[in-house]
Amino acid sequence: MSQAAVEFQQVTKNYGSGNVLENFNLVIPKEKIVTIIGPSGCGKTTLLKMINRLIEPEAGSVLLGQQDIGELNPVELRRSIGYVIQQIGLFPHMTVEQNISIVPRLKGEKKEHLVARTAELLQLIGLEPEQYRGRYPHELSGGQQQRIGVARALAANPSIILMDEPFSALDPISRVQLQKELIKLNEQVRKTIVFVTHDIDEALKIADIVVLLKGGQVIQQGSPKELLERPAHEFVREFLGQERFQLAYSI
Amino acid sequence: MHQLWTTFQASWEVLLEKTQEHIYLSLVSVVLACLIAIPLGIYLSTHRRLANSVITTVSVIQTIPSLALFGFMIPLLGIGPKPAIFALTLYALMPILQNTYVGINGVNPALIEAGKGLGMTRWQLLWIVQLPIARVVIMAGVRLVAVQTISMATIATYIAAGGLGDIITNGMSMMDTPTILLGAIPVSLLVILINILLLQLNRWLTPKGLSDEKTSGQH
Ligand SMILES: Nc1ncnc2c1ncn2[C@@H]1O[C@H](COP(=O)(O)OP(=O)(O)OP(=O)(O)O)[C@@H](O)[C@H]1O
Ligand SMILES: [Mg+2]
């Protein structure tokens, strides 16, 4: 039985026009790739940003290990959690190396250490360090930029990485490639990855666990296989799409 | 031309002194305006409702004719360099304030989101992300103001603040064109010089990743 990396306990979030999440409970297990899917506006981003306190809940608590994150310093908390966003958000005035090492630098780590770390991370994401470390973001393709975004999230060696539709702005080829790399990467470095996506194929392909949300409630949580073989609700079937079920049966 | 040369030979010491005064008036005013308007612009970028009213108020100053503004200074602060600097600074506020505000607000929100999410404090976000990216826009405001202030400092002579305006008005009262030119040409030269200097400084300060127009972080 693996421990929980993140746990939502009775969390309620309200932006002022009704509850987006209400008494929401969710356990995210350690060292798994967990994908969050659900219709637009169901609260996926809200849920994700509550883990690094970019959004604060109105009630309830979010636990990191055993710690209530409401009691932690938000800046320290964020430096200990990786964060990758859809718009990538590389700093245009910094080189690849400066972008990747930003969190360790915020934490005041030594220069010598950073150079080695950057090289290591560039290797890990499949970019030749000597060729890429001195480049600026606009000198990279979209796929390469988001690889750097992933490397930046890994730099301070966080145990949790949050990703909000990280690959959805990329072309299909880069997207598939990055999905594969993410799976491989997680076999090497073993992180808890919370991954929000619109792309159901992507969600089923990369996930150890899928969480399907609707209207701020978890409809079903389980392995991709479980969702396909034992949908807990008609909505699961509907949302994942009939053809996938036929496919699952034919296997 | 020959006349201009003889006038120059006869009064180059005065010219030097007046040029120094002129530079002093302009430089102090621009620096003061930067010290006020840049921090104010940064502050307003996080207080948008206040920003509107402050920027409107400051832009009203811009509508006062410059000669009149200098005139208003006399009952308030008397004559001499001090009221002149005060008036020049007031005029210089608006472009710097506006460009700082627009520059900082123009930073791509995704970069703010990324910076925050990675664990930057507000202060770090400002110094590491917002200011470096907004600097090109802020510097454009400063350049505009430097040029404007150098030309406007010519009027400071009317409130006995010195500067090259002294030579020009002197020439005007004597109806002596060479003397007018002796005051006017250095003003133009100063404007050109400061423009080149600031452009160069800007090019030199701008990080390589931002030198390309399309990558200024403002989508
Ligand atoms: N800052 C905000 N102010 C007001 N309402 C908000 C805010 N952010 C989100 N909402 C609302 O909360 C609900 C959940 O938003 P959220 O961004 O979490 O959805 P999502 O599942 O990520 O959607 P999408 O798939 O479109 O990204 C939506 O109805 C949205 O309109
Ligand atoms: Mg979202």
Instruction: Provide the CB-side half-sphere exposure for B197 (13 A, CA).
Output: 9
The whole-number pLDDT of residue B209 equals 73
By Cβ distance, the residue of B111, B115, B215 closest to A138 is B215
* Substitution target from B118, B131, B214, B219 for chain A, most A beta carbons within 10 A: B118
Cβ atoms of residues B112 and A85 within 8 Å: no
Q: Model ipTM?
A: 0.91
Q: What is the distance between the alpha carbons of residues B206 and B219, in angstroms, rounded to a whole number? A: 18
- The average pLDDT across B95-117 equals 96
Phi (first) and psi of residue A135, to 5 degrees: -80, 160
* Cα–ligand 2 centroid distance for A45 (angstroms): 4
Report which of B104, B97, B101 is spatially closest to residue B58, judged by C-alpha positions.
Answer: B97
A91 and chain B in contact, CB less than 8 A: yes
Q: What is the distance between the alpha carbons of residues A234 and A14, in angstroms, rounded to a whole number? A: 28
pLDDT tens digits, one per residue of B142-167: 999 999 999 999 999 999 899 999 99
Cβ atoms of residues A113 and A104 within 8 Å: yes
Which structure tokens are listed for B57? 């108020």
User: B119: which chain A residues are within 8 Å (Cβ-Cβ)?
Assistant: 75-80, 103, 106
B110 and chain A in contact, CB less than 8 A: yes
CA angle A79, A83, A84 (to 5 degrees): 150
- Contact between B209 and A77 using a beta-carbon 8 Å cutoff: no
Least CA distance to A52: which residue of chain B?
B117
- Contact between A92 and B217 using a beta-carbon 8 Å cutoff: yes
Q: What is the distance between the alpha carbons of residues A241 and B12, in angstroms, rounded to a whole number? A: 88
The count of other CB atoms within 10 Å of the CB of residue B209 is 25
With b for 16 or more beta-carbon neighbours within 10 A and e for fewer, the A189-208 pattern comes to eebbbbbbbebbebbbbbbb
The whole-number pLDDT of residue A226 equals 94
B11 and chain A in contact, CB less than 8 A: no
Which residues lie across from A82 on neighbouring strands?
A161
The whole-number pLDDT of residue A197 equals 96
The whole-number pLDDT of residue B213 equals 46
The whole-number pLDDT of residue A249 equals 61
Report which of A99, A63, A104 is spatially closest to residue A80, judged by C-alpha positions.
Answer: A104
**Residues 173 to 212 of B: which have CB under 8 A from any A CB?**
207-210, 212
Which H or E run contains B107? none
Which structure tokens are listed for A224? 């991709």
- The average pLDDT across B101-105 equals 96
* Substitution target from A52, A69, A91, A157 for chain B, most B beta carbons within 10 A: A91
Closest-CA distance of chain B to residue A53, Å: 9
User: B210: which chain A residues are within 8 Å (Cβ-Cβ)?
Assistant: 92-93
Q: Are strands A33-37 and A209-214 parallel, antiparallel or unpaired?
A: parallel
* 10-residue averages of pLDDT along chain A (251 residues): 85 92 95 95 95 96 94 97 96 96 93 90 93 95 95 94 95 92 90 95 95 94 94 91 69 52
The pocket around ligand 1, CB under 6 angstroms, is made up of A 15, 20, 40-46, 198
The whole-number pLDDT of residue A241 equals 84
By residue count, chain B amounts to 219
Atom of ligand 1 nearest to the CA of A48: 18
Pocket probe for ligand 1: among A42, A87, A194, the residue whose CB has the most ligand atoms within 8 Å is: A42
Cβ atoms of residues B134 and B105 within 8 Å: no
Which structure tokens are listed for B216? 């200024």
The whole-number pLDDT of residue A247 equals 63
Q: Which amino acid type is present at position B122?
A: R
The count of other CB atoms within 10 Å of the CB of residue B180 is 18
B210 pLDDT above the threshold of 80: no
Q: What is the distance between the alpha carbons of residues B128 and A99, in angstroms, rounded to a whole number? A: 11
- Contact between B110 and A152 using a beta-carbon 8 Å cutoff: no
Closest-CA distance of chain A to residue B144, Å: 24
- In SS3 terms, chain A reads as CCCEEEEEEEEEEECCCCEEEEEEEEEEECCCEEEEECCCCCCHHHHHHHHCCCCCCCEEEEEECCEEHHHCCHHHHHHCEEEEECCCCCCCCCCHHHHHCHHHHHCCCCHHHHHHHHHHHHHHCCCCHHHHCCCCHHHCCHHHHHHHHHHHHHCCCCCEEEEECCCCCCCHHHHHHHHHHHHHHHHHHCCEEEEECCCHHHHHHHCCEEEEEECCEEEEEECHHHHHHCCCCHHHHHHHCHHHHHHHHHC
Residue identified by tokens 């800046």 is A75
Q: What is the distance between the alpha carbons of residues B31 and B142, in angstroms, rounded to a whole number? A: 9
Classify the C-alpha dihedral A108-A112-A116-A118 as positive or negative. Answer: positive
By Cβ distance, the residue of A79, A80, A85 closest to B114 is A85
Instruction: Provide the CB-side half-sphere exposure for A185 (13 A, CA).
Output: 24
Residues 6+ apart with CB under 8 A from B197: none
pLDDT tens digits, one per residue of B162-202: 999 999 999 999 999 999 999 999 999 999 999 999 999 88
* Substitution target from A93, A95, A100, A103 for chain B, most B beta carbons within 10 A: A93
The whole-number pLDDT of residue B212 equals 54
The whole-number pLDDT of residue A113 equals 86
Which residues lie across from B168 on neighbouring strands?
none
The whole-number pLDDT of residue A251 equals 52
Atom of ligand 1 nearest to the CA of A46: 18
- In SS3 terms, B137-159 reads as HHHHHHHHHHHHHHHHHHHHHHH
The whole-number pLDDT of residue B218 equals 40
Cβ atoms of residues A42 and A215 within 8 Å: yes
- Ligand showing the shortest atom-to-Cα distance for residue A18: 1
- Contact between B133 and A92 using a beta-carbon 8 Å cutoff: yes
Q: What is the distance between the alpha carbons of residues B171 and B164, in angstroms, rounded to a whole number? A: 11
The count of other CB atoms within 10 Å of the CB of residue B23 is 17
**Residues 37 to 66 of A: which have CB under 8 A from any B CB?**
52, 54
pLDDT tens digits, one per residue of B7-31: 888 888 999 999 999 999 999 999 9
